[in-house]
Structure 1
């Protein structure tokens, strides 16, 4: 007998609804949640493939690549932390964590005087953001990054805006899906692109971006928004990056490297920092990963502890436009959540 349960897609910060198909309690497929207000019955390829994370989840804890009992792994972590100088312990969290998990991770780190690292692709928090409905009503849209390919359900709204008469200017790589709908397209410099278009942006316009190279570019966007009164919508690569900003300031790649230079014990909560920050991780004495599936960080970790996958837990995300969305577990599991692991580390 088939059962359908609703949840949120974890693939990016758009916040689409997704239906998960279960047969006798096992996940067998997914399809779009047709009544969900964000994606309106659509899911992108990443959304459709998001259940693969659950299917490929980690089964066992490991110490030095040898399988072990999870309680032994946690005891080993506690032993390492108890003998460490707190100033050399760094905790990494990310937009992959739910609002509730971020709060617990932050409290755990701060109560022990550990450093917290949060990297969001060099993007920062922006308070006055546009809604998804604002996209389709905009008269001009400046796009930075290949939104149509990487965030197609935001891209779909940009296409609707163009059909409604909006002018589209865009910046990105030479090969880009977004390039196909742009009236003007630039590839050389974000600064030059913004300078060329800032005089055409007003309260009826919108800037949408999912990539920024430097703080200078972000400052430029903020100044244009302030001067022109146009709206802005950053689209983050992780589902709860916007929610994480409520607790932590994100670090630049350079700031993250500085933190890592002073780290002897690195605890990574549901993130793949090795994939994101180019660094010689062999300089860190002990790397500990809490992860639901294998990634580049678990590959080099001294201790790996499996955690609940997104289908196995309750919580909330805050999507790109700042809207809180709650989700419920669709699969029962006896795997520990990040919050439960933190409670064990406190014992």
Structure 2
């Protein structure tokens, strides 16, 4: 809660915006006084967080005035980073860029960039520097998501609204810890559980989600996700538990999948993943 000095005459300004911490998109009010952010308040009417905030998002504004935040450019001279002016830094960068060949240059972007930032960054790399060497942190965690979701649901992004989570009958959580990393989503999963939904968690870690949210925790060996998922698909098809109508109307390649799964041994996959078949 923002504390307003009782003796002052300045009235803080509340600006609605979106929390920058993660991708949930919670609504917040940034509290500004004399041109300085002094706090933030949750946006009660916002449909995503409904007036709630996680501890991380609640304190995200503090990096603006952190003691170790850079206030001036640093240039490495004689092995040490020393303060410089903006003109010195920009001249130094320009000099280096002019000398760089396309295969010597790479652009490292950030998951915190806006869409407009990302477009400008890749345009600079490809048009100005003449290279496709553009990278960002999301490739480590999102490449497999895009490759999997693209062909199956049409886009490599979350295919449903967060609000729809409350209507689900069952959740299969793979390697995610929403109780700590996405608490606003965890709140909706908890509401679904109140309505009878079940939560199956696949994760080698014994996380807060495993202890407090999961009905079934498949604690597999690290790096054996494929073996476990193949085991689950093989059991579903062998026991006739699949949604035949959905598969016929909305999927392709089911026979190829059956053929591949028929070549796999359940006992061997269970030994690989360390998850008993009976689970």
Does residue 1:117 correspond to 2:117, yes or no? no
Q: How far off its partner does 1:85 sit? A: 1.3
Q: 1:184 to 1:73 in 2, by over 3 A?
A: same
Does residue 1:18 correspond to 2:28, yes or no? yes
Match of 2:98 among 82, 85, 104: 82
Does residue 1:73 correspond to 2:86, yes or no? no
RMSD: 2.3
1:137 corresponds to which residue?
167
Does residue 1:99 correspond to 2:115, yes or no? yes
TM-score, scaled to structure 2: 0.68
2:266 corresponds to which residue?
none
- Rounded Cα–Cα distance in structure 1 between residues aligned with 2:42 and 2:51: 5
Does residue 1:191 correspond to 2:226, yes or no? yes
Structure 1 residues not aligned, in runs of 5+: 204-224, 228-347
CA contact (8 A) 2:48 2:163 kept: no
Alignment of 1:49-60 (within 5 A): 49-56=59-66, 57-60=69-72
Q: How far off its partner does 1:131 sit? A: 1.4
Match of 1:63 among 75, 96, 103: 75
1:165 corresponds to which residue?
196
Q: 1:201 to 1:35 in 2, by over 3 A?
A: farther
Q: How far off its partner does 1:175 sit? A: 2.6
- Rounded Cα–Cα distance in structure 1 between residues aligned with 2:196 and 2:228: 21
TM-score, scaled to structure 1: 0.55
Q: How far off its partner does 1:226 sit? A: 5.2
- Whose radius of gyration is greater, 1 or 2? 2
Q: 1:170 to 1:202 in 2, by over 3 A?
A: farther
Q: How far off its partner does 1:172 sit? A: 2.1
Q: How far off its partner does 1:31 sit? A: 1.8
Structure 2 residues not aligned, in runs of 5+: 1-9, 150-154, 245-249, 253-279
Q: Which has the higher helix share?
A: 2
CA contact (8 A) 2:73 2:85 kept: yes
- Rounded Cα–Cα distance in structure 1 between residues aligned with 2:62 and 2:230: 42
